[in-house]
Amino acid sequence: MRKYYFILLCAFVFVFASVVNGIGISSDANTIPINRFLQVQVSKANQKQSVIVPVNPVDFDTTLEWNVKIDKKNLASEKDPAYFVIETMETPAKKIEYKTVSGSGKLVIPKGTQYKMTLYAGEYSLLVTRDGATVQAGLKYMEAQVQYSLGDQPYQINFKVAGPAGLSNWSWQWSSNNSSSGDKVSHQFSDAGNAAIVIEGKGKLANGDTSQKFYCNIEVPPLIRMDPKVDPLRGPVELNLAAKVNAVVNYGQKATYTWNFGDGNETSGSEVNGTIATPGQYQVLLTAKVGDYTFQRNWQVVAEPMSITPNAELSSLSGSIPFDVTGTVNPTIYGGPTQLKFSWEVGKETIEGKDFTYHFKEPGDYQVVLKTVDKLHPGLLIPEQIFVVKALAPQLTMKPTVSIEKGIIPLKADFDPVLKVVGSPVELLYRWDFGDGEISNQEKPAHVFQKPGLYNVQLTVSDRLHPGNMIATSLKIEALPPEMTVTLKSNTSKGLAPLTVKFNGQVAVAGSPCDPQYLWDFGDGETSVEQNPVHIFRQDGKYTVTLEAKDWLHPASSAKVTTVIEVRMPKIRLSATLTPLSGGTPLTVNGHAVATQEGNGNTPMKYYWDFGDGSIVEGPDQKHSFTLSGTYNVLVFVEDPNLGNTERKTFKVVVK
């Protein structure tokens, strides 16, 4: 006796099937397939194996699923190919499937029919050896089937079994240790859940067996399958709840539903609505009754307090009188329903309504309070909104200008306050303080600055109608002393020492008054305060002559100019002779020297002779005797005693 096992996991909706001639199976009954699996393999040369499928003919059409793999193992020569074949049992046999390569497929075997499946390994050669391909086949077909549908009593299921031909005496063993017999049975399970079933058929099978057992598990459906919803589970009061069962009742039964929203009141129906008006936590309970069976589900619902935020807005919180302020409310309401009343308190006035406009005419700080009341929930605390509006006196702004900010005294300047007034009315007072002791109450004054200096001109504007409403600012004015320019002239800019130069200084003045002083620096250590001095430069060189003019009346005012005087020493031209330049001892020589100076030929000169033997004499013409033999360097030297410039000449005298 063979045993077969099958596990069934069911998740479906059952519909009551009416019973016809005893136990009935509905047209949409579910089927449990009980499959048989076969594995066949050949791998030696010329090896062949056949199997009959189904092993025993079955009382229903069955589907055969096959999968074959032919591995020729890289054999070199094919003498007789391997194959897989499915054919009928009749003579001559009819091929249903034939494969020489790997493949898979399905075919339907009619009720009571058997096919023959054959594997052949073929013949292949590899050098001197013979071998066959490896041919593997996997077969699967349904050998028995159990059909079932729900009965008309809780947990009752109707079954029908069909299997191999020849089995007619069927028995059913339930997990509760009770049994049933027949190919059609009805069984009452104690509860929903997984149940094991053993089915045994007896008779005479084609293969000679007289019985066969089958094993399966069935998931007994619940009496009622619910997916209830309660929405929302949290929210503000008044909290409107929508509740729906979403249930399927099996076994042809009917259910009733009762909802309790936690406030003591019950509502019946599969889809209901409820309202929670008071904040708190509530247990919502669903009770479903199916015959004598009761099922319950519950939820926790949180009803939160209602809240209202007015979200008031004002068009402006400050402005210059006269000006208007508008207000509006855009409330945020959490919960409901509501019926809101708005009151605006502005100063001593109360304005009813969602929107308001108020005209401010007097300066000051005004408190604007919005009060909100919900007529449907008078005890609900709604926060007040408080604003402070600053009604300002007319705003004064100014950017004063002046016609000139910097200039030489006497400096005349025209002033303009460039004043802008926002708001009304005003009565303006002006006060200009020019910083030199003078003031003006004119709106646009003109003022003359007589003394040089940096002046901070201050302007203050006040509103007599609104004490304390004032504005002040300042301007910087720089009054400069008379502006001097000085020029320097000389009768020459270069020459020979001693060089006499005549200078001339001139001062030009912009503004008034001015008393110039002349300060000369000749660059050689000498100075002068004359306007037109004469100066003698006695040494050669380049001299920078500076003339600075200062104003006695305005010491800070001065001007300076320079020029360069170039002085060169005159050159001395020296002509001298000495004879003879050689001879025996004692040797007497005669020297004669004549010198003239560049630019002045009458300048007296001093002459010196140095004969190299310790004798030095003064004078242009000289006679000298050398008493000792030797070589002597004779020097004649001439000098201008006034200027100090010199010239010289040398001679070589050989005394033998």
Q: What is the pLDDT of residues 105-131, one digit of tens each?
A: 999 999 999 999 999 999 988 777 788
From the centroid of its chain, how far is CA 4? 68
Q: Are 588 and 580 in contact (CB under 8 A)?
A: no
**Sheet (strand 95-99) strand order:** 48-53, 115-120, 83-88, 95-99
Q: Are 411 and 438 in contact (CB under 8 A)?
A: no
Q: What is the pLDDT of residues 581-593, one digit of tens each?
A: 999 999 999 999 9
Q: Are 6 and 32 in contact (CB under 8 A)?
A: yes
What's the pLDDT score for residue 21? 29
pLDDT at 14 > cutoff 80? no
Output 510 or 107, whichever has higher pLDDT: 107
Query: CA 598, CA 102: separation in Å to the nearest integer?
Result: 135
DSSP symbols for 542-565: EEEEEEEEEESS-TT-EEEEEEEE
From the centroid of its chain, how far is CA 169? 81
Structure letter (DSSP) for residue 164: B
Q: What is the pLDDT of residues 261-315, one digit of tens each?
A: 988 888 999 999 989 888 999 999 999 999 999 999 999 999 999 999 999 999 9
Query: CA 86, CA 539: separation in Å to the nearest integer?
Result: 143
What's the pLDDT score for residue 645? 86
What's the pLDDT score for residue 23? 52
**How many percent of the chain have pLDDT more than 90?**
75
Buried/exposed 626-650: b ≥16 CB within 10 Å, e otherwise: beeeeebebebbbbbeebebebebe
Q: How many CB atoms lie within 10 A of CB 84?
A: 25
Q: Kind and range of the H or E element at 34?
A: strand 30-42
Query: In the 3-class helix/strand/coil scheme, how is 412-448 assigned residue by residue?
Result: EEEEECCEEEECCCCCEEEEEECCCCCEECCCCCEEE
pLDDT at 642 > cutoff 90? no
Residue listed under structure tokens 């009819």: 94
**Sheet (strand 527-528) strand order:** 494-496, 558-568, 541-551, 516-521, 527-528
What's the pLDDT score for residue 4? 38
**Sheet (strand 483-490) strand order:** 483-490, 499-510, 534-537
What's the pLDDT score for residue 531? 93
What's the pLDDT score for residue 265? 81
pLDDT at 58 > cutoff 60? yes
**Domains in the chain with CATH codes:** 1-221 (2.60.40.10), 225-304 (2.60.40.10), 307-392 (2.60.40.10), 395-479 (2.60.40.10), 483-568 (2.60.40.10), 572-655 (2.60.40.10)
Distances from the Cα of 76 to the Cα of 42, 48, 121, 125, 131, angstroms: 19, 21, 15, 6, 10
What's the pLDDT score for residue 497? 87
Query: CA 452, CA 514: separation in Å to the nearest integer?
Result: 13
What's the pLDDT score for residue 87? 96
Structure letter (DSSP) for residue 619: S
Query: CA 15, CA 249: separation in Å to the nearest integer?
Result: 9
pLDDT at 355 > cutoff 90? yes
Q: How many CB atoms lie within 10 A of CB 55?
A: 18
Query: CA 587, CA 579: separation in Å to the nearest integer?
Result: 10
φ and ψ at 604, to 5 degrees?
A: -70, 135
What is the pLDDT confidence band of residue 604, given thresholds at 50, 70 and 90? confident
What's the pLDDT score for residue 652? 95
Which ranges in 361-414 belong to alpha helices (H)?
none
Q: What is the pLDDT of residues 444-479, one digit of tens each?
A: 999 999 888 999 999 999 999 998 899 999 999 999
**How many percent of the chain have pLDDT more than 70?**
95
pLDDT at 2 > cutoff 70? no
Query: CA 323, CA 423: separation in Å to the nearest integer?
Result: 8
What is the pLDDT confidence band of residue 27, given thresholds at 50, 70 and 90? low
What's the pLDDT score for residue 325? 95
- Per the DSSP assignment, residues forming a β-bridge with 319 are 391
With a CB cutoff of 8 Å and minimum separation 6, the contacts of 246 are: 226, 227, 228, 229
Closest Cα partner for 99 from 80, 118, 116, 115?
118
What's the pLDDT score for residue 511? 73
